[in-house]
Chain A
Amino acid sequence: ELKVEQNPLFLSMQEGKNYTIYCNYSTTSDRLYWYRQDPGKSLESLFVLLSNGAVKQEGRLMASLDTKARLSTLHITAAVHDLSATYFCAVDDGYGNKLVFGAGTILRVKS
């Protein structure tokens, strides 16, 4: 069964610091998603990574994908309070029927 593991599950950061969230998955999927969720809200699509070596950046967030290692990273640069949210990675199940989500990383940025 496909497993998607994120770590850490909880991250408390100081404003201005850098950190990385890791997402490991067990299938050969070459499409990976990162979502942001604010409490009780919907899943906001941040990045869609489509191939090995893909790197995308938006503001203080940068995501990368290594399909050979089955690893994606979400790097946060100079964190600000507005980035506080839960971040999920997700991959398709290998058949394209569904997305399998990681458990999520709760990010808290303290000023």
Chain B
Amino acid sequence: DSGVTQTPKHLITATGQRVTLRCSPRSGDLSVYWYQQSLDQGLQFLIQYYNGEERAKGNILERFSAQQFPDLHSELNLSSLELGDSALYFCASSVGVNLRYTEAFFGQGTRLTVV
């Protein structure tokens, strides 16, 4: 157990809907990262937050948004869902802001299925 908690573990929803994925980082970790894992794209970085502020953005669609709250948990919001959004979404956390000097630990993931 990495100490990173993601909820829910599984989510099935219809196209066009909106969902929210939640991540609680390890105690003491200030950075949160979101990744998407799909069969065709592999593991893709979406976005990073550090202590409530957006730090880096990857290949995140405009229909997706995220935030990190004062208690450091993070939420990833996915809207106008399409079949192609079906994937495993991982959250990771680290103590520091720079991955050159700090290690990231991954949660169990949320399996999103869009039908």
Q: Interface of A with B (CB < 8 Å)?
A: 29-31, 33, 35, 40-43, 45, 48, 88, 90, 92-93, 95-101, 103-104
Contact = CB atoms under 8 A, between A and B. Distances in A.
Contact of A43 (B45, B56, B90): B90
Given A98-B56, A100-B45, A92 B106 contact: no
A93 B109 CA distance: 22
Nearest to B97: A96
A106 to B, nearest CB: 12
B12 to A, nearest CB: 14
B61 interface: no
A99 B90 contact: no
Nearest to A100: B45
A48 to B, nearest CB: 6
Contact of A42 (B2, B97, B99): B2
